[in-house]
Structure 1
Amino acid sequence: MKIAGIGAAVPERCIANAEVERQLGLEAGWALRRTGVRLRPVAAPDEATSDLAVRAGRAALADAGVNPHDVALLLLATSTPDHPLPPTAPQVAHRLGLMRAGAVDLAAACAGFVYGLALGEAMGRTMDACVLVIGANVLSRRTDPRDPMTATLFADGAGAAVLVPGEGVLGTYLGAHGENWDEIFIAAGGSREPLSPEAIEAGRHLMRMRNGPELFRRAVRMMAQAGAKALEAAQLDASRVDVWVPHQANRRIIREAGKLLGISMERTVDIVERYGNSSAATIPIALCVARERGLLIRGQIVLLTAVGAGLVSAGAVLRW
């Protein structure tokens, strides 16, 4: 399977660092130094995850020249579904006109899009059919505006890719480290702790990040490991990578993981300053931006890597 088309959808409104720093009582420049983020796209009040996913999916289908009726499966990677039940993917499939496709949500956090590519590639080969993979999130509704660890970082957006039969995905890696499940988490709203007025009052329905320094070190190691494992599966080494598109976790993680992988910033797509961290949406958005900037050329070797809550990690090597 190979990527035949990509598309993205980013909200028009952006929140700049000055606004966030003022609200949190932080000194000017704190957010940029800590995260590399300057702007965060934020969904409009009437804009949900499905709305962004539909826009990105429609753009990717048009870019690929694929008829919606030819898509056999939609995989929607999201941590912010429109509703707890039902899954959001069937609604997105309906709105896109994917009348012959199965559709399911993937809850793999920031690694969701790469997980979707790996699973979609396998299913597409099995069915000899097209697969649409979308990463979409409205994280502004899961972020505590009083928490500098998350409010300065997370953003909203969607990106998509259409997989069609052919040679393109050269190797993948999927990893999970469940012993670290509580380093990035939302405590309330699931079967372990249902929502209650008390939980909402305490902000337990919003995202929390624990043990920041250790989480940073773990994310760097896991990002680099995912890339190395995917390259091993493709029987390539890092010197063959033309373009590395990491999950836009934050700029410091990207730089440190790049050092471990042996990939320079000149070969790295870094859009975190303008687009923030939209979890599973960052990599497909970055692919679209990279192509617009002329950084992606057919035939190049492209490495994708991601790490996120769970903790989960994923890597994929593509011949673009």
Structure 2
Amino acid sequence: MGTTLSGFGHYVPDMVVTNAELETRLGLSAGWIERRTGVIARRYAGDGETLCHFAVKAGRMALQSAGIDPAEIGLVLLATSTPDHLLPPTSPLVAHHLGLACGTLDMAGACSGFVYALALADSFCRTQNKSVLVIAANILSRRLNFEDRASAVLFADAAGAVVVTPVDEPHRGVLGLDLVSDGSAYDFIGIPAGGSAAPFGEGTTITDTRMAMRDGKGLFIKAVAAMAGCAQTALSRANLQINAVDYVAAHQANTRMVELVAATLGVDPCKLVGSISAYGNSSAATIPLSLSMKHQQRQLTSGETVLMTAAGAGLSAGAIVMRL
């Protein structure tokens, strides 16, 4: 038995935040953000929008794209760093709004969360013969510290989703996989307060509840190496060369990172699938968002091979080679 991606979906909020707006707010020169990051604009959640709202929108689009009976969904995986609440998890509510009563799981894998969720979904499909709805969604605008320019100019809000479906052909689905971590970079980026190590209390400041990038340069170097390294290992395990891949979807952290990973791997630029310029960095959501947008432009079809690679906070990283 194998698997395939039978449906794609995404959601981005209506509020467009331009570079000019942020450059004025942060005291940056005109053009600084695009030159440094490749981001031209990004989307922020509107008043009243929640992470569940994002996930339901993307998930419903993916289910409709797959044309699947909801009863065939055996599991919903939600990759997010910004759940509606610390407790309870958000995925049961997402499933409820989608009319699903299957198992659900929130996965806090930061920027690599979608790759990890997809690996689990493929295994579940093969062993249980049931489809899996994988959603990655984040509302990072509500965790920005505008005193920290390095992160404030990058992060944005979006959701992406895929339906992973079992098929009879064993040569389809995940062909190669590599998942790694490097805890030496654990605190390079994060949110200081809110966990059991530093719970909310009377002394908690607003800044402590916002994202902080302690070592952006170090994170960049390690993330590029991890994304490229995982991709090379995944290709090797799939017994494929990079020129056999039809599309490469790298985590959209910033343009320079994607370009370096692509150059290291020897990727033909025309095979890159991305969304960074118009939608910014929505962490785990960037890969499924990019895939869904590509599918809208030109349907991804059976037999095509996609390489996905990502790295982020923790540091966690992973790559998957998947044949549709």
- Same fold? TM cut 0.5: yes
The yes-or-no answer on 1:88 pairing with 2:98 is: no
Q: Normalization by structure 2: what TM-score?
A: 0.95
2:310 corresponds to which residue? 306
Query: Is 1:134 aligned to residue 135 of structure 2?
Result: yes
Aligned-partner Cα distance in 1 for 2:163–2:175:
16
CA distance in 2, matches of 1:267, 1:109: 25
Q: Aligned AA for 1:318?
A: M
Where does residue 72 of structure 1 map in the other structure?
74
Distance of 1:19 and 1:198 partners within structure 2: 32
Deviation at 1:295, TM superposition (A): 7.2
* 2: CA distance, partners of 1:271 / 1:265: 14
Counterpart-to-counterpart distance in 1, 2:233 and 2:107: 22
Q: Percent identity?
A: 47
2:248 and 2:273 in contact (8 A); partners too: yes
**What is the CA-CA distance between 1:197 and the residue it aligns to?**
4.1
Residue in 1 that maps onto 2:216: 212
Of 36, 40, 43, the match for 2:42: 40
> Which of residues 228, 238, 242 is equivalent to 2:242?
238
- 8 Å CA contact 1:139–1:156 kept in 2: the answer is yes
Name the structure 1 match of 2:189: 184
Hey, what's the Cα distance between the residues in 2 that align with 1:233 and 1:91? Answer: 37
Change (3 A) 1:198 1:34: farther
Q: Match for 1:159: what amino acid?
A: G
The Cα shift of 1:294 comes to 2.3
Give yes or no for the alignment of 1:293 onto 2:294.
Answer: no
After superposing on structure 2, the runs of 4+ consecutive aligned residues of structure 1 that deviate more than 3 Å are 295-298
- 2:157 is matched with 156
Helix, strand or coil at the partner of 2:161:
strand
Q: Give 2:231's aligned residue.
A: 227
Range with bigger deviation, 230-239 or 218-227? 230-239
Q: CA deviation at 1:169?
A: 2.2
Aligned pair 1:194/2:199, yes or no?
yes
Give 1:2 deviation, angstroms: 1.2
2:57 and 2:215 mapped to 1: Cα distance? 36
Distance 1:196 1:35 in 2: 36
- 1:167-217 Cα shifts (integer Å, max 9, x gaps): 22222221111221101111111000012343324x011111122222211
Q: Distance in 1 between matches of 2:259 and 2:301?
A: 23
Preserved CA contact (<8 Å) 2:5 2:164: yes
Counterpart of 2:291 in 1: which secondary structure?
Answer: helix
Counterpart of 2:285 (choices 277, 281, 284) is: 281
Counterpart Cα distance in 2 of 1:170 and 1:4 = 17
For 2:106, give the aligned amino acid: D
Query: Residue deviations 1:232-291, cap 9 Å, x none?
Result: 221112121111011101000000011111112221113200010001111011001112
> 1:63 and 2:65 equivalent?
yes
SS at match of 2:48: coil
Aligned partner letter, 1:57:
G
- Unaligned segments of structure 1, at least 5 residues: none
Q: Match of 2:47, SS?
A: coil
Name 2:259's counterpart in structure 1: 255
Match of 1:3 among 2, 5, 9: 5
Output the CA distance in 2 between the equivalents of 1:137 and 1:33. 25
The one-letter code matched in structure 1 to 2:47 is P
Q: Is the 8 A contact 2:136 2:160 kept in 1?
A: yes
CA distances 1:292-318 after superposition (whole Å, capped 9, x unpaired): 232734322110110011101011111
Match of 2:174 in 1: 169
Please list the CA deviations of residues 54-82 of structure 1 after superposition, one character each: whole Å capped at 9, or x if unmatched: 01000101100111121111110000000
Q: Secondary structure at the match of 1:194?
A: coil
Give secondary structure in 2 for the equivalent of 1:23.
helix
In the alignment, residue 132 of structure 1 is paired with which amino acid? L
Post-superposition Cα deviations, 1:133-159, rounded to whole Å, max 9, x if no partner, equal: 000000001111222111110000101
Q: Please say if residues 42 and 280 of structure 2, whose CA atoms lie closer than 8 Å, have aligned partners that are also in contact.
A: yes
Which amino acid is 2:194 matched to? G
Q: What's 1:123 paired with?
A: 124
2:223 and 2:245 map into 1 onto residues whose CA distance is 21
